[in-house]
């Protein structure tokens, strides 16, 4: 059977079980766009953006049924609390600009509601807890504004959590960081360890009372970038009930590319933040020659390994489309069916694909919500700042 046969099978499967993508940085792309400068209406998602990777026509082409949009900011942003709110606002304006396309999603049940109305469920994740400014109260404000997932840090270690791509200071999380996890559990807000250090991932699994997500991470055993998850963490997802969502970031996919990029990265593999990541890569190539290319087949290798290690019930897809370079064959959000076709070619059934496409993420999200409902019956909101937590 040829590739077109499997692509047909993949599209039919995704028609019945569309993709729930764990991470996309479109809001930041809109903010950085030189013409739109954060104006969602000016950016116009209704047209194809050839220089980027995400727009409504290609979301439809890719059978995307739900999306976690990232309210991201660099750790060095001068006004992190304000910037977090601005990024949440961008996501809300995406929903408002295209009410015929996006269903504001604030619980797992909204996935089915969106699907019934032919829309894409729009979820909000806060990427980088720097906007807390070392206080717990903003968590509840973010939740009230619609955020349902927190990534505690980005590429830098904060006063309370160690980043995977920075020097550790807390052996994972300090006392305040553990309070952040506890309050997220009480709220029913997912804690996403994608950017947390390996020690932090182990601590997160130790202390979280709810399933955890790794919304855009691959297998460390296949590509040794510190952003990828080691085997012991993957195996613990079975008991935790959490999900690891395979990502498309080329340097997290391909070991040859990871090795090549070391000449332009620090000791932790952290990429310099750039307004135009594609131009940044081209500039590096002018100095060092052509970079090895990550491929769709390698992403599929990671999915297979994650399934073998964490279990079929604990794997999803978290593309991390961000307007930058992508693996060959996965250049934009319209290409999800091609990845699913590759998985089906390798022997995954339609039932397997349905779990990876959305079933596992929805199951874990429902469990997080249930934990929150239970904890709120007996626990009051945690209050305080970093200095209020001994040992922090």
**DSSP letter string, 70-110:** EEE--TT-SSHHHHHHHHHHHHHHHHHH-TTTEEE--STHH
* pLDDT at residue 290, as a whole number: 87
Q: Is the dihedral angle over the CA atoms 130, 208, 304, 60 positive or is it negative? A: negative
Do residues 20 and 65 touch, judged by C-beta distance below 8 A? yes
* pLDDT at residue 392, as a whole number: 61
Write the pLDDT tens digit of every residue in 119-161: 999 999 999 999 999 999 999 999 999 999 999 999 999 999 9
* pLDDT at residue 77, as a whole number: 92
**Spans of the chain, pLDDT less than 50:** none
Do residues 180 and 132 touch, judged by C-beta distance below 8 A? yes
Domains of the chain by range and CATH?
3-388 (3.20.20.140)
Q: Is the pTM of this model over 0.85?
A: yes
* pLDDT at residue 253, as a whole number: 98
User: Catalytic residue positions?
Assistant: 23, 25, 127, 154, 195, 216, 320
Helix (H, G, I), strand (E, B) or coil at 332: coil
For residue 143, what are the contacts with CB-CB under 8 A and spacing of at least 6?
Answer: 187, 189
Q: How many CB atoms neighbour CB 200 within 10 A? A: 24
The Cα–Cα gap between 160 and 153 comes to: 9
The Cα–Cα gap between 349 and 237 comes to: 22
């Amino acid at each position: 059977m040829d590739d077109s046969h499997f692509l047909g099978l993949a599209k039919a499967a995704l028609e019945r079980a569309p993709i729930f993508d764990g991470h996309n940085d479109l809001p930041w792309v809109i903010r950085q766009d030189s013409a739109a400068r954060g104006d969602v209406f000016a950016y116009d998602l209704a047209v194809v953006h050839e220089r980027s990777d995400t727009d409504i026509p290609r979301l439809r082409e890719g059978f995307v049924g739900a999306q976690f949009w990232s309210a991201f900011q660099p750790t060095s942003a001068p006004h992190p609390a304000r910037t977090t709110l601005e990024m949440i606002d961008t996501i809300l304006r995406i929903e408002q600009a295209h009410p015929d396309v996006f269903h504001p999603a604030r619980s797992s049940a909204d996935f089915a509601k969106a699907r019934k109305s032919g829309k894409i469920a729009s979820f909000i994740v806060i990427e980088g807890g720097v906007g807390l400014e070392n206080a717990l109260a903003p968590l509840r404000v973010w939740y009230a504004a619609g955020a349902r997932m927190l990534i505690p840090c980005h590429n830098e270690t904060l006063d309370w959590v160690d980043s995977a791509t920075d020097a550790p200071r807390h052996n994972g999380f300090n006392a305040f960081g553990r309070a952040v996890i506890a309050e997220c559990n009480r709220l029913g807000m997912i804690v996403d360890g994608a950017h947390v250090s390996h020690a932090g991932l182990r601590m997160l699994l130790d202390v979280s009372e709810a399933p955890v997500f790794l919304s855009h991470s691959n297998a460390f055993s296949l590509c040794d970038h510190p952003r990828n998850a080691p085997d012991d963490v993957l195996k613990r997802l079975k008991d935790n009930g959490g999900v690891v969502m395979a990502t498309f970031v080329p340097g997290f996919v391909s070991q040859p590319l990871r090795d090549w990029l070391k000449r332009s990265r620090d000791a932790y593999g952290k990429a310099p933040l750039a307004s135009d990541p594609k131009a940044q890569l081209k500039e590096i190539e002018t100095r060092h020659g052509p970079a090895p290319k990550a491929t769709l087949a390698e992403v599929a290798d990671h999915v297979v390994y994650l399934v073998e290690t964490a279990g079929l019930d604990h794997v999803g897809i978290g593309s991390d489309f961000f307007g930058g370079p992508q693996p060959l064959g996965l250049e934009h959000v319209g290409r999800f069916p091609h990845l699913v076709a590759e998985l089906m070619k390798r022997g995954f059934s339609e039932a397997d694909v349905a779990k990876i496409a959305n079933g596992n993420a929805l199951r874990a999200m429902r469990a997080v919500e249930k934990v929150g409902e239970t904890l709120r019956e007996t626990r009051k909101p945690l209050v305080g700042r970093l200095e209020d937590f001994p040992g922090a």
